[in-house]
Amino acid sequence: MRLGTTSYIYPADIITNVRRLAGKVRDVELILFELDDGPNSLPDDNTISELKSLGAGHDMTYTVHLPLDLRLASERPAVSKAIRAIRNTERLLPHGYIVHLEGEEDLKEPDDLKRWTDNSIRSLEIICGEVMHSGQVCVENLENHSQLMLESVLDRMPVSCCVDVGHLWKQGVNPLPFLDRWLSRARVVHMHGVGDRDHKRLSLMSPMELDPVVEVLRERFQGVLTFEVFSERDFSDSLAAFQESSRRAAARSPHRR
C-alpha cells in the first residue's frame, strides 16, 4: 500500500507542495479542481518535467483528481475539460484519474437512474479513450450517491473505483460492507475524518470506527491510500492516527511473534 496525500497541504502551488512532500509520501493526488478559461491549476510543461523528476527520484507516483465541475452524469457534460487535464498530466503516467459522476442527483422517477447512468457511461467511454487503460479511471463514491448509483456504472464499465471512506462516514454508512463489495475494484482509497464537515484530520474518528477499516486495508489493499486533507496539521495528524491504528491491528494479529 502506497500512502499519499493531496497537493494542497501547504498554502502554496502544486510544485511547492510536491517538493515538500517528496520523501514523506509515496503518492501525491494532484488537485485540478477547476479549469476556467482564464487562470487555472493545470501545471505548465516545466512543472510537469519537475514533477516527473521528483517522482522518479523519490519512488513517488501521482493520482490526478479531475475537475469537479464536469457534470459527467448530465445531458451536457464538460468532457473537454477532463480531456485537457488528462493530456496535461499524461507524461506523469498517473496511477489513477479520480472522477466524480455528478449531474441531476434527485432521482425520483424510475427513469431518472437510467438517464443518470447512461449519461455517465457516455462520458466515461470518452474519457477511457484518452487514457492508457480504462482501469486508470477511478469512479469515486460521493456523499450524495447511493450504492445503487455506483453499481449501475461499475457493472457496465471496465473502470476502477475510488473508495472514499470519509464520504461513507459522513453518510453514516458502515464502510466495511462497502469495502467488501468494492475493494477488489479499487486502485485508490480516500480517508479523512468527519467533524463539522469532512476532509478533516483522521483522529476525529474513534478507534472503533477507524481500526476495522485500517485492518481491512492492511490485509487486502495494495493500491494508493490518500489522506484527502488540505492542511499540514490535518495531514500529520492523519498519518499519525493511521500509524497508531496500524500498530493496534498488528498487536491483534494472530501471526504476531
Q: What is the pLDDT along the chain (257 residues), one digit of tens a residue?
A: 999 999 999 999 999 999 999 999 999 999 986 666 656 778 999 999 999 999 999 999 999 999 988 999 999 999 999 999 999 999 999 999 999 999 876 666 778 889 999 999 999 999 999 999 999 999 999 998 888 999 999 999 999 999 999 999 999 999 999 999 999 999 999 999 999 999 999 999 999 999 999 999 999 999 999 999 999 999 999 999 999 999 998 887 765 54
Q: Which residue has the cell 499524461?
A: 90
pLDDT of residue 257: 42
Residues 6+ apart with CB under 8 A from 150: 139, 141, 161, 182
- 223 within domain boundaries: yes
pTM, to two decimals: 0.94
How many C-beta atoms surround the C-beta of residue 61 within 10 A?
18
How many C-beta atoms surround the C-beta of residue 243 within 10 A?
12
- 24 within domain boundaries: yes
* Helix (H) or strand (E) run with residue 220 in it: helix 207-220
131-162 burial, b for 16+ CB within 10 Å, e for fewer?
beeeebbbbbbbeebeeebbebbbeebebbbb
- 257 within domain boundaries: no
Q: In whole angstroms, what is the distance from residue 162 CA to residue 26 CA? A: 17
Residues 6+ apart with CB under 8 A from 16: 10
Instruction: Measure Cα distances from 84 to 64, 92, 107, 154, 185 in Å.
Output: 12, 14, 30, 24, 26
Q: In whole angstroms, what is the distance from residue 51 CA to residue 13 CA? A: 12
- 195 within domain boundaries: yes
pLDDT of residue 134: 97
Residue 203: how many CA atoms within 13 Å on its side-chain side? 11
Q: Which domain holds residue 54?
A: 2-252
Q: In whole angstroms, what is the distance from residue 95 CA to residue 34 CA? A: 21
Q: In whole angstroms, what is the distance from residue 135 CA to residue 86 CA? A: 14
- 169 within domain boundaries: yes
- 125 within domain boundaries: yes
| Axis crossing angle, helix 175-182 with helix 147-154, rounded to the nearest 10 | 0
* Helix (H) or strand (E) run with residue 120 in it: helix 110-128
The count of domains in the chain is: 1
What value, to the nearest 5°, has the Cα angle with vertex 33 and ends 28 and 39?
Answer: 110
- 105 within domain boundaries: yes
Which residue, 95, 26, 88, 94, is CA-closest to 57? 26
CATH of the domain at 128: 3.20.20.150
pLDDT of residue 103: 84
Q: In whole angstroms, what is the distance from residue 78 CA to residue 181 CA? A: 30
- 181 within domain boundaries: yes
